[in-house]
Homo-oligomer: A and B are copies of this chain.
Amino acid sequence: MEHADTLGSVGEGGVLARIFPRLPSAASELLGPGDDAAVVAAPDGRFVVTTDMMIHGPDFRLAWSTPFDLGWKAAASNLSDIASMGAVPTALVVAIAAPSDTAVAFLERVADGFREGCEAMAPGCGVVGGDLSVSDTLTIAVTAFGDLEGRPPVTRSGAGVGDTVAVAGVLGAAAAGLRLLFEHGVREPGSLRDDPLVVAQLRPHPPISAGVVASLAGATSMIDLSDGLALDARRVARASGVAFDLSRAALGSLDALTGGEDHSLLGTFPGEVAAGFRAIGRVVEGDGVLVDGEPFEARGGWDPFADWSGEAG
């Protein structure tokens, strides 16, 4: 029966033949799968590249993430890193390692998540190559590429005193969704799946196109908020040699500072903030992160080096 096919029973070649048609194609692809390497267009003579692994356990739980969620989220988190440089995502390569008893249908749904995620967040971006292996630990490694279209990259080191600090996307929702999943048990999340906070955790929808908009609007620094606003803002402040003074009123709640995996964009703007961004503070002299002028020290965020227990699934 087809639904009983596994990675081990069908083998690498057979699984790839079933996965390839489901993957999104890339407008930038000059030579696609079928050779030892792909060839991708880099029209301005440079390309932006980021790589990120999602590991079963530290990074996701099969108790609540569907395979579709995994493909979508792996795409989203990498696309967001490209966007934060002010680039347009052009292509991905995807390496998946899975236990040999993994159902082929599971891997097909991962591919569907990549396809629908790319179509929704970065149309034209697709998968140009990959690798499929067996492993005791389900692992999804994505490398993503982007095109700067002739612009300089927006780095972490350019924030200037007097700039407005602004964010595109939601703050704290993914962390709140993770708390809901932990509190309500892992085996039967049931209707929790439709909760917007849970959706923000399992299937985030970062504002990818806002990255280019910010670059065109003159953003002086930008970062993808993956580890919580406070921690990531501190990184930009350190790289730029300044401090970020955030407004508690603009943030709404301090939870916005400590939640991880927002995959929103934090940028600084010397003039008006870009469309899609909202002001949450100002760049000042000093170091670290302040809230209403007072130092804010809490770390927050999701720590894969501390928070994983294999027993929870």
Contact = CB atoms under 8 A, between A and B. Distances in A.
A154 to B, nearest CB: 9
Interface stretch (A111-119, A126-134, A165-173, A268-276): A126-134
Number of copies: 2
Given A53-B131, A57-B134, A136-B137, 15 more contacts: A8-B305, A35-B85, A35-B153, A37-B146, A38-B49, A38-B50, A39-B46, A39-B47, A47-B47, A51-B94, A52-B131, A53-B141, A55-B134, A97-B139, A136-B310
A136 B138 CA distance: 10
A150 interface: no
A223 interface: yes
Contacts of A139: 53, 55, 97, 135, 137, 139, 141
B131 A93 contact: no
B50 A39 contact: no
A297 interface: no
A300 interface: no
B41 A46 contact: yes
A305 B11 CA distance: 7
A95 interface: yes
A303 B45 CA distance: 39
Contacts of A223: 36
Contacts of A91: 49
A39 B147 CA distance: 10
Contacts of A130: 51
A87 B40 CA distance: 13
A40 B51 contact: no
Contact of A49 (B37, B141, B148, B239): B37
A237 interface: no
Interface in A85-106: 85, 87, 91, 93-95, 97, 100
A220 interface: no
A146 to B, nearest CB: 7
A299 to B, nearest CB: 11
5 contacts: A37-B49, A37-B85, A38-B49, A40-B49, A55-B134
A235 to B, nearest CB: 9
A36 B55 contact: no
B133 A51 contact: no
Q: Which 5 A-B pairs have the closest CB atoms?
A: A42-B42, A37-B50, A141-B141, A137-B137, A143-B143
A202 interface: no
Contacts of A12: 305
A100 to B, nearest CB: 6
